[in-house]
Amino acid sequence: MPVRKLLVASQKSGIGKTTTSINLAAAAALAGTRVLLLDADPLSNVSTALHLGSHPFRRPLRQSGVDLPGVLVCDVLPGLDVLSPYEAGACSDADLDDLLRLLNAPQFQASYGCLVVDAPPFLGANPGQLVGACDGYVIVMRAEPLAHRTLPAFLELVQRSRRDRPASLHGILLTLPEGEPPGGRWERELRGRLGARVFQEAIPYDEEAGLAVEKGLILTQTAPESPAGAPYHRLAAALHLADNPVPLKKAVGAAALAAAAALQPVGAGAPAHGPVRPASPVRTPVEEAPDETPDVESLDELDLPPRPSKPSMPSFANLRVAPPSLTLPAFNPPPAARAKLQPVPTGPEEEPSAPTAPKPGAAAPGGTLPWFVAVGLAVVVGVGLRFVHLPDFMLPVAVGLAVAAAVVLALRVLAATPEAPPKPLTVLAAPSPRKTKNVEKSDGRRDASARLASLTRNSPSGSYRRPRRK
């Protein structure tokens, strides 16, 4: 009978995926078959939860004759072995492919009855490896708001990773958060959305599960009748994980993997398998150029060209620079610039025309109606309302609108008064300086002599005679 291979996956971490893997594997082992639990999560959460770092039956694969990284711990409980590929160091994709090939060998089929794989969240970086190694998978989902949003993308990822392999979805297992009772709101919502895909068994919040993880124990072994332990036993039976019984007389250890590795070389001596990897480029030998360095004892024997002489640089030792002056020269524009500042008279055709104010009652340029047209429309509307039956509450509204329209019309008529045209702006030019003669300053004595000389020049010729007395 073939080995049952179950993949336990989830859309994100922290929802009980590792706890489900451990308890389903333990329930199958307690049911009478030997189970291998593969911790495929690079964080090695299974080894951390079960405190396998100090287990007495812990042994690396390389010490057991298998040239692959990983640690195998036998008889964690009777019939349950745990294999952690990432615990002893880095495990590449090629090493994980070799390990999965060994788990598919006939030697492994004869030694184990069930394989449970704890996958990383969202199946990790290479989903095709784990999906192709199992014949079915279970999705663990936390019953919380919007938990179903990423389910379509996850199912599409699994379908693309199958590659014509028989992996099928067994169902969706709901785990309830703290404070959510069985059959609560979020559980009912997810069951209504997902339908028959959800298992009838749901894992409630159980304090016994937390205590078991703290002590490194397994809930289905220490408390099989607890609220969370009993559903795991029923789910393992529903998945037929123990249908291939294997005697549990003696621990198998790494003998099955070593026997499979002897027939299928793995590690450094394994043949090329899996995806074709690009070959490294072949390097062709390049002929080295002969050394043209002359065989001389010293560099003095070489006929080197003379070194160019350095140009002499000017000396600035005796250069004296006067300090800058902070006094600005007086502004004295030339006569041509003064002529440009004279006011230029403008003709009547160049004078700006004053804006004309609109006449009261005329139509404004913005498209508004004259006041008498607005008054006429208001009269027509008022007479027309006389023949229209309006509710009582509309009368105050109509009166208010009419008053508001009248006020607005009055304000517009008053605002249309003509305004005085603005005075044209004149450009003031700087007056041109007039030429003045140099007038010598003189004192009062010189001024008196100058007036006397002018009077003498203006008087008639001849001597001055005094008039005779009669």
Q: pLDDT digits over 179-227, tens only?
A: 888 989 999 999 999 999 999 999 999 988 888 888 889 999 999 999 9
- At residue 2, the pLDDT reads 79
- At residue 431, the pLDDT reads 53
Stretch 390-419: mean pLDDT: 76
**Nearest CA among 44, 110, 131 for reference residue 82:** 44
Model confidence at 80, pLDDT cuts 50, 70, 90, reads: very high
Which of residues 62 and 116 earns the better pLDDT score?
A: 116
Stretch 161-181: mean pLDDT: 85
Q: How far apart are CA 408 and CA 287, in angstroms?
A: 102
Class of domain 4-267: alpha beta
Model confidence at 423, pLDDT cuts 50, 70, 90, reads: low
Stretch 133-137: mean pLDDT: 90
Stretch 250-279: mean pLDDT: 61
* 20 pLDDT higher than 50: yes
- At residue 404, the pLDDT reads 84
- Domain chopping of the chain, boundaries: 4-267
Task: List, in order, residues 6 or more apart from 194 with CB less than 8 Å away.
Answer: 148, 151, 172
- At residue 148, the pLDDT reads 86
How many CB atoms within 10 Å of residue 279? 6
Which of residues 467 and 266 earns the better pLDDT score?
A: 266
Which of residues 289 and 433 earns the better pLDDT score?
A: 433
Tokens representing 268 are 């450094």
- At residue 443, the pLDDT reads 52
Q: How far apart are CA 196 and CA 194, in angstroms?
A: 7
Stretch 74-85: mean pLDDT: 92
**Cβ atoms of 245 and 110 closer than 8 Å:** no
Model confidence at 285, pLDDT cuts 50, 70, 90, reads: very low
Which of residues 317 and 46 earns the better pLDDT score?
A: 46
- Summarised one tens digit per residue, pLDDT across range 120-130 is 998 888 888 89
- At residue 377, the pLDDT reads 77
Q: How far apart are CA 262 and CA 336, in angstroms?
A: 111
H-type alpha helices, 112-194 = 127-133, 151-162, 185-194
- At residue 142, the pLDDT reads 93
Task: Give 197: exposed, middle or buried? Use CB within 10 Å, 0-12, 13-18, 19+.
Answer: middle
- At residue 17, the pLDDT reads 94
* 235 pLDDT higher than 50: yes
Q: How far apart are CA 75 and CA 252, in angstroms?
A: 9
Model confidence at 302, pLDDT cuts 50, 70, 90, reads: very low
- At residue 263, the pLDDT reads 75
Q: What is the DSSP letter of 248?
A: -
- At residue 210, the pLDDT reads 85
Q: What is the DSSP letter of 126?
A: -
Residue 189, amino acid = E
Picking from 8-12, 139-143, 328-332, which range would have the lowest pLDDT averaged per residue? 328-332
Q: How much is the mean pLDDT over the chain?
A: 75
Model confidence at 329, pLDDT cuts 50, 70, 90, reads: low
* 94 pLDDT higher than 60: yes
Model confidence at 458, pLDDT cuts 50, 70, 90, reads: low
Model confidence at 283, pLDDT cuts 50, 70, 90, reads: very low
Task: List, in order, residues 6 or more apart from 390 with CB less than 8 Å away.
Answer: 398
- At residue 432, the pLDDT reads 54
- Summarised one tens digit per residue, pLDDT across range 373-404 is 777 777 777 777 667 776 777 778 878 887 88
Stretch 449-466: mean pLDDT: 61
- The percentage of the chain sitting over the pLDDT mark of 70, rounded to a whole number, equals 62
